[in-house]
Copies of this chain bind each other. A is one copy, B any other.
Amino acid sequence: MATARSTEDIDRQRGSLGAAAIGTVGSGSASTLPSHVNAAPAVVAVFETLKVRRESAVLFADIAAPPMNLLGPALVRDLVSLIQQAEADSDLKVLVFRSADPDYFISHVDVNKIKEYRQEAAKLVGEASIALLFRHLSASRLVTIAQIEGRVRAAGSEFVLACDMRFAARETAIFAQPEPAFGAVPGGGGVQHLTRLMGRGRALEVMLSAQDYNADLAERYGWINRALPADALGEFVSSLAHRIAKFPAGSLAAVKDRVNAIALAPVEDFRRDSDLFGEGARNPEGQSRLQAAFKRGFQTRDAEMDLAGLLGALD
C-alpha cells in the first residue's frame, strides 16, 4: 500500500490479488485532501484508462479512455485490476466511478474487439463475459456508486446498472440501451436490471426504441437513483460516499447480500444474455446494420454525440 507504481508494474502483477497496487502519493493536490476516519493518506494508482484517487476508505476512479471511453480490452483489463486490488484492500469500503470525459462516461463496447475484451473479463470471473464481470461487481462487498456525466449507452448503461447506486448530472447525462437496433439483446445485464428497476413496459420501451434518455426521464423511469444539477453532483456523491464509508463494513456487506438475494438476477440469466448478445452480434441483419452505422460514423466521438439520431436514420 506504500508506493505509486507504473502501468507496467501493474501489468506484471495482474492476477496477484494480494499485492495492492493502489499506492500513496506524497505531493500535489492529493496531499491536500481532507483526512477521514482512518486518517489514511491520499493515495493514487496508475492505470492506462483509469485515474484513481483514494480518500480514506473511499476510492474515486475516473474513466479516461480517449477518445470516447469505449469499453475495450484496455478498460476491461484496468477495471479487472482495480476491482481485484480494491477487494483485496480490507480498509476500502466504497468505490466511486466517474468520467474524465464530460461527454462520455462509457460509450459502449468496442464492437471490433469483442473477443479481446471478453478475455480480459475472464481473468477475474473465469468466463469470457462482461456480464459476469459486472455481476461480480454487484455482488462484491464493496459499495459502488456511479457519478454519471455524459453518455452511458449499451455496456456503459450496464456498467452503471451493476453499480449499487447511480446519480447523474441533469444537464449532461444521456442513457441508452440500444442493442436491438443492431439485432442483439443487451448482453451485460441490461435486460435483468432494467426490467426489475422500471418494470416490463418501460424496460421494453427503452430497449426496443434504442432511444436516448436524459437524466430526468431516467430518474422517473428508475434507471438512476436521482438526477442532480451538474454543479452539485460531485459534492453530493463525495459526501454520500464518505458517509457510507464510516459505517461498519459488516453491515454494508450484509445489507448488500440481502438486497442482492432479492434483486440481483442469478448468474445463469446474465450468462444467457451474454450468449444471446454474442449470437446477435454475428447475425447477418445486425451485421449489415452495424456496417451501415459505421459508414455514418459509429464508434467516433462526434457522430455518437447523437447516436439515437444515427440509429433512426439507418434504413
- A260 to chain B: which residues have CB within 8 Å? 200
- Which of B165, B185, B211 is close to A204, meaning CB atoms less than 8 Å apart? B165
- Which of B201, B208, B259, B280 is close to A197, meaning CB atoms less than 8 Å apart? B201
* Per-position binary interface string of chain A over residues 150-165, scored 1 when its CB falls under 8 Å from any chain B CB and 0 otherwise: 0000000000000111
- A234 close to chain B: CB less than 8 A: no
Contact present for A199 and B197 (CB under 8 Å): yes
Contact present for B255 and A207 (CB under 8 Å): yes
Contact present for A251 and B184 (CB under 8 Å): yes
Nearest CB on B from A241, distance (A): 10
- Closest residue to A138 on the B side, CB-wise? B200
- A263 close to chain B: CB less than 8 A: yes
- Closest residue to A178 on the B side, CB-wise? B247
Q: How far is the CA of A264 from the CA of B186 in the complex (A)?
A: 19
**Contact residues of A between 131 and 187, Cβ < 8 Å to B:** 143, 163-166, 179-186
- Closest residue to A217 on the B side, CB-wise? B226
- Closest residue to A259 on the B side, CB-wise? B195
Q: How far is the CA of A219 from the CA of B201 in the complex (A)?
A: 11
- Which of B163, B201, B240, B286 is close to A166, meaning CB atoms less than 8 Å apart? B201
- Closest residue to A273 on the B side, CB-wise? B258
Contact present for B259 and A180 (CB under 8 Å): no
Q: How far is the CA of A276 from the CA of B198 in the complex (A)?
A: 28
- Which of B181, B192, B251, B315 is close to A37, meaning CB atoms less than 8 Å apart? B315
- A262 to chain B: which residues have CB within 8 Å? 191-192, 195-196, 200, 265, 269
Q: How far is the CA of A176 from the CA of B272 in the complex (A)?
A: 37
Knowing A199-B222, A259-B200, say if A165 contacts B205 (CB, 8 Å).
yes
Nearest CB on B from A219, distance (A): 8
**Contact residues of A between 225 and 253, Cβ < 8 Å to B:** 225, 240, 243-244, 246-248, 250-252
- A143 to chain B: which residues have CB within 8 Å? 204, 208
- A18 close to chain B: CB less than 8 A: no
Knowing A192-B262, A255-B180, A315-B37, say if A209 contacts B244 (CB, 8 Å).
yes
- A6 close to chain B: CB less than 8 A: no
Contact present for A312 and B243 (CB under 8 Å): yes
- A210 close to chain B: CB less than 8 A: yes
- A240 to chain B: which residues have CB within 8 Å? 205, 209
Across chains A and B, which 4 residue pairs bring their CB atoms closest together, nearest first? A200-B263, A183-B248, A180-B251, A197-B199
Binding site for B on A (CB under 8 A): 37, 143, 163-166, 179-186, 191-193, 195-205, 207-211, 219-220, 222, 224-225, 240, 243-244, 246-248, 250-252, 254-256, 258-265, 269, 272-273, 276, 280, 283, 285-286, 289, 312, 314-315
9 A–B contacts from the bound complex (CB under 8 Å): A191-B262, A192-B262, A195-B258, A195-B259, A199-B263, A204-B255, A208-B247, A246-B315, A251-B283
